[in-house]
Chain A
Amino acid sequence: MVETSDIRVVRCGGSKVNLTPPIISSDSRYPFVLCTSGDLVKVYSTRTEEWLHSLQGHTNQVTGITLNPANHLQVYSCSVDGTVKLWDFIDGILIKTFVIGCPLFAIYVLSVIVLSECFQLVSVHLPKSAEQEVEAKEMSAVSSHISKNPSCTAFGRGGEYIAFARHLQLNVYFFRKQKTYSFSLKATDKKGAKNAFTCIACHPTDDCIATGHEDGKIRLWRNFIHKKEYTYSTQHWHHNAVNTLCFTPEGTHLLSGGIESVLVQWQYGAGNRKEFLPRLGGSILHISASSDGQLFCTSHSDNKITVIESSFKVCGVIQGLVKDAVLTDLMIDPRSKALVLNGKPGHLQFYSLLRDKHLYNLDIVQQEYIYEAGLDQFEVVKAAFDIKGSWLATVEERGKKSSDLEFFLKLWAFDERTQSFVLNTTITAAHTDRIISMCFSSSEETTMLVTAAEDSQFKAWCQGADADTQQDQNFWSCDFVGSYHKLNPTNCSFSADSSLLAVSFQEVITIWSPDTWEMLTTLCQPPGVIRDLCFGRLSCSKYLLGTTTKNLLCCWNLLTCELEWSTSVDVSKLQPDPFSENVAAFSYQSKHTDLFVFKPSEPRPLFTNKNVCSEKVHRAVFVPREEPLNSCDESTQWLNRSQLYFLTQNMDLLTFSTATEEDRMLSSSKQLVIDDSVAVTPFYLLLGKHRQQQQKLNTQSHPVSDKPQQTQGSVTIKELLHTPAHVLPAASVLCSMFVNSFLISNTGVQQDPLRYFVHIRLKSNGFSYSVMHLLSISLKFLNSFI
C-alpha cells in the first residue's frame, strides 16, 4: 500500500467557467477574456474564442478575479486556499502572492481589497513590499450581514461606498464617513411579489444603485444618504429572479439577465426604453462589460461565456464542459479522443480534455427545447460507441416520473465526409420497458449492439439483417432476444475479443456466445444483485469482474468458471482501462470515496488513494494520453498511457496528475509567449526581416561563437525583461546598465544589440511604458554604435 504524494487530485479541464463574472481586458486590439476555471484563471481571446493560456498557481478553487485598478494589465485573483495573487495576465506571470489565511469567496478591488470570508465582508490592506510572497494580516471587517451570493455586493462611484444586500435589506456603507445606511423592503406586497434582493450594481458616475429582485423587478435607488427621503423607481420586465445587473462603463445603460436567457439593455434615465438579445442558451448568471464599453460578456448556467458587441450582436462563444445533468456515462469518442456526455438539453457534447475545449454538440433528440420548469422533455440517458468510433448508439427517454415512459433507441453512423455522426436507424419500441444497459461488441469485424432492459430481456442488434428494405444503406435490426428465468437484467458486457457476452440477471451472471447465441455458463455469488460487470483486458482477459450491491467485488476465472478471488468492498464504480490490464474501483464508505487501481490477476492493488473526494463517484473514464508518460515509479505507472477522470455527485470533474506531469506543465508555462500575439506592423516587418537575415547569417557564419555571447549578455537583459515594468526602477537608472550590457556583447558581433532591441520592442507592445522610454534612449545609443 503506497500512499504517494506525487499523485494529486486536481481539477483539470472541464471546470466551470461561469462561477464568477468574466473580465474583459482593456487596451488591446483584440481583448482577452479572463475567467476562473477550477484552480486556474483562463485567458481566452475574444476574437478567436481560443484558450490562450492559463494562470496557474492557486491550489484550490479560484473564487474571484478582478483587474488591478492601478494597472490594467494585471489581475488579482482570490481562491479558497486563502491567497490573493497578482498576475500579469498577458504573459501569465505570477507577480505577487498575498497570504490571507482564510478561505476567500469573492474579491472586489478598489484601493482596498474587500472579500468575503465565512460570509463576512472584510477589507484587507495589501502591504506594499517587493517580496514575492507577502502576508496580509491587516484586516477590518465591514459587515457580517452579507449575502452568500457575491453579486449582492458592489462598489459605488469611485469606491466611495459599498452596497450590499441580504434578503430584504439593502445596506450602503460609506468608507469615508464609516456609516451604514439601511433600507428594507416588505417581505411581500399585496400581489404576492417576492421582494428579496438577488443582485446589485452601482452606477459608475452617479449615485444610483440598481438592485435586482426575486420577482424580476429592478429598482434604481437614489438619495440613499437620507433615512426617509431616499427614493427608488421600479422597472419590471423579467418574469423570474434577476440574476445579474451591470452598468456599462459610461453609465448610459444597464444590463440585466435572468433565467429567461435574454440579455436586456435598459437605457439609464429613460424609463422603459430597452433592448433585448434573446436566445442566448442557459440562464444568464453574470454580465460584465469591458472598460471601454465595446464588449459585454455574459456567463450562462450551461458553462458558457458569450461575448457580445455593444451593438448587441453575439461575436463569440466560449463553451465549457456542460455538466448540469449528466445522465449518460462518461465516454471517449475513439476517433477524436474527446470526452462525450450530455451537453445541451437533448444533445451529446464532444469535449476535448487535452485542449480543454468544447468541440461540438450532436443533436440527438432533434426537438426544440423549451426553457421552462416542470416540462417533461426528452433527455439522452444512454450512449455507447463501438470500438472504432464509427457507430454511436443512444437512448433518449421521457416520462421518468409518470407511468407512460417513452424512449427511442437511435443508431448513428460516422460520416467520413462530413466528419460527424448521421442518424442511421431509429428504433421506437426496442424494448417494452426502459433500457438498463447497452454495449457494443468489441470485435473489429462485426459490430453488434446488445441492449438489456427492464422487460427481463436482452436484445442483440445487427446491421443489415433486414431483408425488407431494398436500400443500399444497412439499417439495424434485432438479431436475438435472450432472457433468463424472467429475471430483470442489470448489466451487459462484451469480452475484449467479443467472443463472450456476459449479461447479469439480478444475482446471476450468464455467459453467452455471440456467434451461436448459446448460453455457456452461469456464475453466481449470492447474496447481492450485480451492479457492475467488466471483463479483464490484455493479459487478464480470462477474468470477469463483478460488483454486487452487498459490497462484494468478485473476480471469476472464465477458464475454470470458478471464483478466483473476492473481497468485501463497496464499489460504486468499476472502470477498466482499455489500454492496460488495470481496473479502477471507486469505493464509497463513511462520507469519502477511495480509489483502488488493481490488476485482476494480482491480489495487491497497484495504487490506492484514500479520500479522493467526499462524494460518491458514479462516473469515471480513462482518457488516453497523446504521448505516454514514461514513469517507472510503480505507483504512477498506471497513469502512463491514460488518465483517469471522474465525476463526483457535485458535478466536479476531477483527475489525477503526477508530479512529473506538473513539472512539465509548469516549465512550459514559464516560457514567454511573445511571437504569436504580436501585431504585424511595418516596423515589425522591417526589423523582423532584418532579424531573420541576421539569424541566418549568424547560424551560417558564427554557429559556435554566437551562443556563449548571447547567454553572457542576456543575464541583465533577461532580468530586465522578466521583471514587471511597474516594479522596475526608473528608466534613467536602468539605462546605463542596459547599454552596458550591450557594450559587453559588442566585442565581436555588431548585430547583437539589434536583436535584443527587437525583443524589447516586442515586449513593450503589450506591456510597459518605462521600457518604451528606455527604448528611445537606447535608440540614441544604438545610433552612435552603428
Chain B
Amino acid sequence: MMSTDLRSAMGEFKVHRVRFFDYMPSGIRALAFNQDTERMAVARMDGSVEVFHCSDRFFQEKIIPGREQCGIEGLSWVGERLFSAGLNGGITEYDLTNQKVKYTIDAYGGPIWTITGNQQGTHLAVGCEDGTVKLFEVNEDQIQFERNLDRQKSRIISLSWHPSGSKIAAGMMDMIQVFNVETGHSIHRMLADRGAGTSRSKECVVWSVVYLSDGTIITGDSVGMVKLWDDQTGTLIKSHNVTKCDVLALSVSQNEDSLVAGTSEGIVVQFQFVSMVLEKDDKEWVRTRTFRNHTHDIRAVAEITTAVVSGGMDAQLVVRPLLDKIEVRSAASALRKIHFPHRRLVSCARKSGLMLFQYPGHLELWRLGESEGKGTPGSSLFVKRNPEKLLQLKVKGEDHIRCSAVSPCGGWIVYSTASTLRLYRLHCDNNNISITKISKLPKVLSSANQLCFSSDSSHLFSASAQSSVHIASLSQSGCKFVGTLKPKSGSHQAIHLLAASEDGKWLASANSDHEVHIYNLQTQKAHCTVPVYSSAVTAMGIHPATNCLFMMHADQQMFEYSIEQKQYTDWSRTVQRKGLHRFWVERDTPCLNVMFNPQNPSHVILHDMYMLCIIDQSLPLPDDKTQFYNQLTLKSLTEEQRKSQSHAFKVCKTFKDILCVELMPDQSLVVVERPLEDIATQLPAPIKQKKFAT
C-alpha cells in the first residue's frame, strides 16, 4: 500500500492506495447471444454465468455465481431461457429473474462438451464424451430427454443445428458427422485432415462447427484451419489456414454473411461472404479483417448485430464494433474491453478502517495502514503502520459467494451464497481478532441477492426474491427479523443495489429492470418509486444532508432525486436540460460508487475503472465547447480566471484499474487498484509467437 497526497482544485485528500486485493477474474469459456432480448450470456471458467445487456453499453446486468468443480462448456439460449452444460455431465437451467440456478439434470452421457438449442426453440442437443448426441425436448418448465442420435466412437466436441432444425452437424475427433434429426442416422461423415509433420500423430479436434442455411458447414479445428464443407456431397469446398495453432471458436452473423473465428493465438479472424464479381451473385467466403485484442486463447466468439464479442483465457470480454454495420458512430459503438465485474467486490468499514475483499471462494478482511506527516501533492507518505490482513474466511460448501458486506462499525461481516447466508460477529480488541458465527438466523435470511448494513450498523438489509428486502436488527445477542419491504408493484427481478441513508430513515433498492424503489424504514412501507429510466442503475447513494438519491446509469447519465419531495431536484433537471459533456458520455466503464463529502455537501464523488471524479454541484456545468479535462489549464491560471474557467466535473486520472474508491470519515480516500499488468502476470503463459524484430 502507498499513501499519497492528492491535492488539487478538487480538494485535498490523503489517499490509501490499496493494491493488496489480488482479485483474479476468471477466464471466459462460452458466449451465447440472444438476438431478441439483446442479451449476451457469458460463462466463465469458475462456473459463473453473467448476462450483459448489449444495447445498454454492455452493462453486466446479472451475475449467477459458480460452484466448485462446475466447469461450464457450453451455453445456449432457448427463447429467453438460458441453459448450460458442463464437464460434470449435467444440464443446468438458470432462473434469470432471481439470478440463480433453477435446476440441474444429468444427461447420463459423461462429460458434456457442447450444448445448442435449435432455432425453433423446441429442442436442445448436447454432445457427450461417450459419443452420443442427446436430444432434449424443451418443455414449459423443464427439459425432457427425448432420444439419442446414432452413437459415435469418439466424443462430440461441437454441435450446430441446421436452421431448419432437421439436421445437426457434429464436430468430433478427426471428423465431422452430419445427422438427420428425424431418423437419428448419420448422413455424412467428413474427415478432417491432421496437421503436417510431427502433428500428424496428434488427433485433429474439430473445436467448433457452424451449419449455415444454404447447407454449408464451416468448421474450425486444432490444425488451425477453417474449412467449408458441402452437406449435399460431404466434400470440402475450401479451406483457409488461419493460424498455426487451434481455431477454437466460430460464430456466424444472423444474416449469414459474416463469420468470425477465434484462435488460440488470441486473434479473431473475420470472414465475409462477398461476391467476387461486383453485383453478381456468386459469393465466396473471403478472409477479411483480423482483430488482435487478446493475449491468450480465445475460447468463445459471438458475432452480434453490430459487433464482434470475444472472450478467452485472459478473462476480458472484448466488444469490437463492426463499423460497416453501425449507422452513427458514437460512444456506444466504440471498442470496449470489460475487465472487472460491474459490481462492488470491496466493502469498507468506514469507521474502523477495515476493508472486506470478496473472492469467489473466500473473504479477506484487512486493516488499512497509517501514515505520518504531510507531503507535497502527489508525493508518497511514510507508512507508519503497514496494512495487515486480519482474517481470511473460507466459504462453507461448494457455492461461490454472491455478495458480502462489512458493517460500517466493523463489528459484523455477512456474506451470502446461492444457498446460505452467514453472519459473523467480529471482535477486535488490539491485535486479537476473534469471530463468532451467529447461529440462529431468521429463516427468511436464507439467501440474499444483495446485502447492506444501516449506517449505524444496527440493521442488516438483505435483498431477496421478488424484489423484496428483509430487515434484520442486529444486537449483541444476535439477529432478529424485523420485517420485509415489498414494492407496491413492478417486476420481480433481483435487486442488485441497495443504499441506506445516513440518518437511517430511507432505503433505496435498484433491480435489473431499472426500477428504483425507496422505502421508509420507520414505517417499513414503500415510500415511492423513481421514474424508470431506460438504462440500468450502476451506482447510487443517498446524500447525508439533503436525503437526495443520486443515481448513476450505464449510459453515464446522472439523476438526483429528492426523496422527501418525490421529484427530481433542480440540479438534476438542469443536467438533463443542458446535457452532459461529450467526453463524459463517451467513457466506456460504468460508475461503480457514489459518495458524498460531509465537509462539502455540494461535492459528489464518483469513480469508474479509469478515473475518480468529483462533481461540484455549485459550479456551472460544462457544455461541449468547454475543455472537459481542465485541471492542468486551471493550474496555470490566476485565482480570478480560475473561477470563470472551472466547471462542475473535476476528473482525476492518477489512479488506474480502480476496483473501488471509498471516502473515509477522516477525509482520506481509499483507492483499491488492481493493475491489469498484475493480472496478466498471473495468467498462464500465452502461446509463444515469433514476432518481427524480436
Contact = CB atoms under 8 A, between A and B. Distances in A.
- Chains A and B bind each other: yes
Interface of A: 157, 205-208, 220, 222-226, 228-234, 239, 269-273
B287 A207 contact: no
Interface of B: 240-242, 272, 274-279, 284, 286-290, 323-324, 692-693
A232 B272 CA distance: 10
Give chain B's interface secondary structure class.
strand
A157 B277 contact: yes
A416 B27 CA distance: 77
Given A222-B274, A230-B324, A239-B692, A270 B241 contact: yes
A225 B278 contact: yes
A186 to B, nearest CB: 12
Contact of A271 (B240, B272, B275): B240
Nearest to A157: B277
Nearest to A161: B278
17 contacts: A157-B277, A207-B277, A222-B274, A223-B274, A223-B275, A223-B278, A224-B278, A225-B279, A230-B324, A231-B272, A231-B274, A231-B289, A232-B288, A233-B290, A271-B240, A271-B241, A271-B287
Nearest to A208: B276
Those 6 A-B pairs whose CB atoms lie nearest each other, nearest first = A206-B276, A233-B288, A207-B278, A231-B288, A229-B324, A222-B274
A225 B275 CA distance: 11
Contacts of B274: 222-223, 231
Contact of A222 (B241, B288, B290, B693): B288
Nearest to A224: B278
A272 B241 contact: yes
A208 B240 CA distance: 18
A222 B324 contact: no
Given A207-B276, A271-B241, A222 B289 contact: no
Contacts of A234: 289-290
A233 B286 contact: yes
A233 B284 CA distance: 14
Contact of B241 (A205, A206, A233, A273): A273
Nearest to A221: B288
Interface centre among B240, B284, B288 (most CB of A within 10 A): B288
Contacts of B286: 222, 233, 269
Nearest to A225: B278
Given A226-B324, A231-B289, A232-B288, 12 more contacts: A207-B275, A207-B276, A207-B278, A208-B276, A228-B324, A231-B272, A233-B287, A234-B289, A239-B692, A239-B693, A269-B286, A270-B241
A505 to B, nearest CB: 52
Contacts of A231: 272, 274, 288-289, 324
B324 A270 contact: no
Contacts of B275: 207, 223
Contacts of B289: 231-234
Nearest to A230: B324
A547 B241 CA distance: 70
A233 to B, nearest CB: 4
Contacts of A157: 277
A157 B277 CA distance: 9
Nearest to A206: B276
Interface centre among B240, B275, B277, B289 (most CB of A within 10 A): B277
B81 to A, nearest CB: 34
Contacts of B278: 207, 223-225
B688 to A, nearest CB: 18
B693 to A, nearest CB: 8
A217 to B, nearest CB: 11
A207 to B, nearest CB: 4
A205 B280 CA distance: 13
A233 B288 CA distance: 4
A459 B403 CA distance: 94
Contacts of A223: 272, 274-275, 278
B213 to A, nearest CB: 20
A206 B276 CA distance: 5
Contacts of B290: 233-234
A150 B19 CA distance: 59
Nearest to A207: B278
Nearest to A272: B241
Contacts of B240: 270-271
A446 B276 CA distance: 76
A234 B290 CA distance: 7
Nearest to A234: B290
Contacts of B242: 271
B261 to A, nearest CB: 11
Nearest to A232: B288
Contacts of B324: 226, 228-231
A173 B221 CA distance: 41
Nearest to B242: A271
Contacts of B288: 220, 222, 231-233
Contacts of B279: 225
A308 to B, nearest CB: 25
Contacts of A220: 288
B129 to A, nearest CB: 33
Contacts of A228: 323-324
A207 B280 CA distance: 10
A224 B242 CA distance: 24
Contacts of A225: 278-279
B416 to A, nearest CB: 43
Contacts of B693: 239
A506 B277 CA distance: 73
Contacts of A272: 241
A662 to B, nearest CB: 51
A231 B324 CA distance: 8
Nearest to B280: A207
A566 to B, nearest CB: 61
Contacts of A208: 276
Contacts of B692: 239
Contacts of B287: 233, 269, 271
A269 B284 CA distance: 10
